[in-house]
Amino acid sequence: MAVYATELPIRPDLDASHSEIASRWATTGSWWSGAERIAIVGEVRQARDGDDLAPWESPSQVDGLITDNHLLPTAAIDAIWRITNHPGTLTADWHASIISRGINPEAYVELVGVVAQANAVDRFADALNLARVDLPEPSSAEPQRLADKSVVVSSHWVPTAQVKGPNVIKALSAVPFEVDSMSLLSSAQYLQLGDLLADLVSDQNSLTRMQVEVIAARTSKLNECFY
């Protein structure tokens, strides 16, 4: 069954990718349970739909924004809001402050993956005035939370594996499941990551490659992303 009920011509592969991503959100992760991962997506929605906070304001500092029995630690919630609403203001010091509040560095990587995906999937629905994807029932299995000694902090703030390719692909490599999710979404919404530089001229669905790159660059600039 299609995720989106609409007369707009949403490609089946695009619709299916959002369905698959929603299922992956509900899956037990490496560091966060299915319920926690769904709570992360829910918090992205709170951050987008709630009152605007300045970059230096955290939801944990505002009375009433975080419920007492929230499933996620306050440091994670603060990170989710900041990454969602002010990504261009993030600094190494900010990242260090989140980690110093007890978030495991690899768990942070997994959180970034889920937050980023939720921003993409919901922004798509919102822009087309569609209902956002329903959040599935989460898996009840507990995450293993096993540190991978082969991932180290070298080029990024976060630990990464020794993998080849663009640095933005390497960014989530400490949690391969999130790299796969990113690839799944990018393949449906943008282009196959393997074609990034290998094929600069082919049309992508109804768009020319140049139209695709203008949209990508304009969006990145609006989000004040230097990378």
Partner 1 sequence: MNQDFQISFEAIDGSHVGDGGIEHGALLSRLCEAMFYEDPDQLASVRDDVIEVAGAKVLVDAVAVSANFYMMTRIADATGTPLDAGTVEPSVEIRELVGVNNFTSRREAQA
Chain residues binding partner 1 by CB under 8 A are 8-11, 14, 79, 83-84, 87-92, 95, 109, 112-113, 115-117, 119-121, 123-124, 126-129, 155-158, 166-168, 170-172, 182, 185-186, 188-190, 200-201, 204-208, 210-212, 214-227
Q: To the nearest whole angstrom, how small is the minimum distance from the Cβ of residue 104 to partner 1? A: 15
Query: What phi, psi does 107 have (nearest 5°)?
Result: -65, -35
Q: To the nearest whole angstrom, how small is the minimum distance from the Cβ of residue 224 to partner 1? A: 5
Q: To the nearest whole angstrom, how small is the minimum distance from the Cβ of residue 68 to partner 1? A: 27
Comparing CB distances to partner 1, the nearer of 4 and 139 is 4
Comparing CB distances to partner 1, the nearer of 63 and 92 is 92
Comparing CB distances to partner 1, the nearer of 140 and 206 is 206
> Which residue, chain included where needed, has tokens 């951050």?
47
Q: To the nearest whole angstrom, how small is the minimum distance from the Cβ of residue 211 to partner 1? A: 6
Comparing CB distances to partner 1, the nearer of 25 and 140 is 25
Q: To the nearest whole angstrom, how small is the minimum distance from the Cβ of residue 113 to partner 1? A: 7
Comparing CB distances to partner 1, the nearer of 9 and 64 is 9
What count of residues does the chain have?
227
